[in-house]
């Protein structure tokens, strides 16, 4: 999934295409859980030691290898993704088109062993750069 691609000097960036690609990546980075599509997830997030995630309980995950340790949890039949909603999604693209950042509020509705396990009104903000 490409977004914020490096553009040779002088090339015009199709801002609408880039923003749509970032939107697709944001939604895929959350929506993968519905079908437990780890291939989709891993095609979106950084597969390196610089990966950083802070979850709604303020747990910090540093590095792709550390992130992959949670695969057993997310892949468990006890976990079921129900739906998600992004509110107030704002995507911004740098003038050069090689950096994007966004902000939104996330309701991530899930179940663990049949009981609600939701993250609601969680603020998401990220910056990504394709190098």
Chain segment 67-96, per-residue pLDDT in tens: 999 999 999 999 999 999 999 999 999 999
Task: Check: CB of residue 67 under 8 Å from CB of residue 7.
Answer: no
pTM more than 0.85 = no
pLDDT of residue 89: 95
Note the pLDDT tens digit of each residue in 86-128: 999 999 999 999 899 999 998 999 999 999 888 776 566 555 5
| Residue 26 CB neighbour total at 10 angstroms | 22
The pLDDT score that the predictor gives to residue 1 is 46
Share of the chain above pLDDT 70, in %: 83
Q: What pLDDT, on a 0 to 100 scale, did the predictor assign at position 118? A: 84
Span 1-25, average pLDDT: 74
Q: Is 39 left (phi over 0), alpha (psi -120 to 50) or beta?
A: alpha
pLDDT for residue 10 is more than 60 = no
Q: Are 110 and 79 in contact (CB under 8 A)?
A: yes
Cα dihedral across residues 30, 83, 86, 103: positive or negative: negative
Distance CA 66, CA 77 (A): 21
- Give the pLDDT of residue 71: 92
Band of residue 3 on the pLDDT scale cut at 50, 70, 90: very low
What's the pLDDT at 57?
Answer: 74
| 15-129 is a CATH 3.10.450.50 domain | yes
């Amino acid at each position: 999934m490409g977004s914020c691609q490096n553009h040779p000097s002088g090339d015009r960036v199709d801002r609408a295409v880039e923003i749509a690609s970032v939107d697709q990546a944001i939604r895929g980075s959350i929506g993968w859980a519905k079908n437990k599509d780890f291939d989709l997830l891993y095609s979106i997030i950084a597969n390196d030691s610089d990966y950083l995630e802070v979850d709604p309980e303020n747990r910090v995950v540093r590095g792709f290898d550390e992130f992959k340790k949670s695969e057993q949890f997310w892949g468990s039949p006890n976990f079921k993704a129900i739906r998600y909603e992004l509110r107030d999604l704002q995507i911004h693209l740098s003038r050069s088109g090689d950096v994007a950042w966004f902000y939104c509020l996330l309701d991530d509705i899930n179940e663990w062993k049949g009981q609600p396990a939701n993250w609601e009104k969680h603020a998401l903000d990220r910056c990504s750069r394709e190098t």
